[in-house]
Amino acid sequence: MNILLISRCPPFPLQFGDRLIPYHLAYELTERQHVIDLLAFYNSSEDVSNIPRYGRLFRAIRLIREPRRSGLDYLRRLSAPYFFPESEADAWSKPMWNAIRQRLTETHYDAIHVFGGIQVYEYRQLIQAYPNIIVPYESFSQYLESAIEPLAGRARLIKRLELSIARRYERKMFNGYDRVVVLADADAKTLQSLQPDLPLRVIPNGVDITYFSPSGQDPDFPTLTFVGNFAYEPNVDAALRLAKRIFPYVQHRVPGARLLLVGRAPPEALRALASDSIQVTGPVVDLRPYLDRTLIFVSALRIGAGLKNKLLEAMAMQKAIVATALSCDGIAVKNEQHLLIADSSDDIARAVVRLVKDGELRQRLGLAGRELVEKQYTWNRVGEQYEALYREVALARFKR
- pLDDT, tens digit, 9 for 90 and up, residues 260-308: 999 999 999 999 999 999 999 999 989 999 999 999 999 999 988 766 8
Which three-class secondary structure state does DSSP give residue 90?
Answer: helix
Residue 118 in domain: yes
Q: How far apart are CA 211 and CA 288, in angstroms?
A: 9
Residue 215 in domain: no
Sign of the CA dihedral with 135 first, then 95, 23, and 18 last: negative
Residue 78 in domain: yes
Q: How far apart are CA 51 and CA 236, in angstroms?
A: 29
Q: How far apart are CA 193 and CA 132, in angstroms?
A: 23
Q: How far apart are CA 130 and CA 15, in angstroms?
A: 32
**Is residue 313 domain-shared with residue 168, that is, in the same domain?**
no
- Specify whether the CB–CB gap between 290 and 281 falls below 8 A: yes
What percent of the residues of the chain are helix, what percent strand, and what percent coil, each to the nearest 5? Answer: 45, 15, 35
Inter-CA distances, 148 with 145, 154, 241, 390, Å? 5, 11, 17, 36
Residue 216 in domain: no
**Is residue 295 domain-shared with residue 392, that is, in the same domain?**
no
Q: Which residues of the chain have a pLDDT value below 50?
A: none
**Is residue 36 domain-shared with residue 49, that is, in the same domain?**
yes
Which three-class secondary structure state does DSSP give residue 352?
Answer: helix
**Alpha carbon distance, N-terminus to C-terminus of the chain:** 20
- Specify whether the CB–CB gap between 293 and 225 falls below 8 A: yes
**Is residue 168 domain-shared with residue 234, that is, in the same domain?**
no
Residue 218 in domain: no
- Peptide linkage before 13 cis (omega within 30 of 0): yes
What are the residues whose beta carbons fall under 8 Å from the beta carbon of 326, sequence distance 6 or more? 146, 301, 302, 303, 304, 343
Residue 212 in domain: no
**Is residue 59 domain-shared with residue 201, that is, in the same domain?**
yes
**Is residue 36 domain-shared with residue 142, that is, in the same domain?**
yes
Domain that holds residue 363: 223-376
Q: How far apart are CA 311 and CA 166, in angstroms?
A: 27
**At 291, which CATH number?**
3.40.50.2000
- Specify whether the CB–CB gap between 115 and 96 falls below 8 A: no
Residue 211 in domain: no
Read off φ and ψ for residue 320, nearest 5 degrees: -70, 140
Q: How far apart are CA 111 and CA 396, in angstroms?
A: 12
The total of other beta-carbon atoms located within 10 Å of residue 42's CB is 18
**Is residue 351 domain-shared with residue 388, that is, in the same domain?**
no
For residue 52, the model assigns a pLDDT of 95
Reported for 97-103, long-range contacts at CB under 8 A and 24+ positions apart, including other chains, are 97/123, 97/126, 99/39, 99/62, 99/64, 100/4, 100/6, 100/39, 100/126, 100/127, 101/126, 103/4, 103/37, 103/39, 103/60
**Is residue 372 domain-shared with residue 382, that is, in the same domain?**
no
Residue 253 in domain: yes
**Is residue 253 domain-shared with residue 352, that is, in the same domain?**
yes
Q: Name the residue among 32, 46, 26, 38 with its Cα closest to residue 63.
A: 38
**Is residue 237 domain-shared with residue 273, that is, in the same domain?**
yes
What are the residues whose beta carbons fall under 8 Å from the beta carbon of 347, sequence distance 6 or more? none
**Is residue 371 domain-shared with residue 387, that is, in the same domain?**
no
**Is residue 81 domain-shared with residue 201, that is, in the same domain?**
yes
Total domains, the chain? 2
Radius of gyration (C-alpha) of the chain in whole angstroms: 22
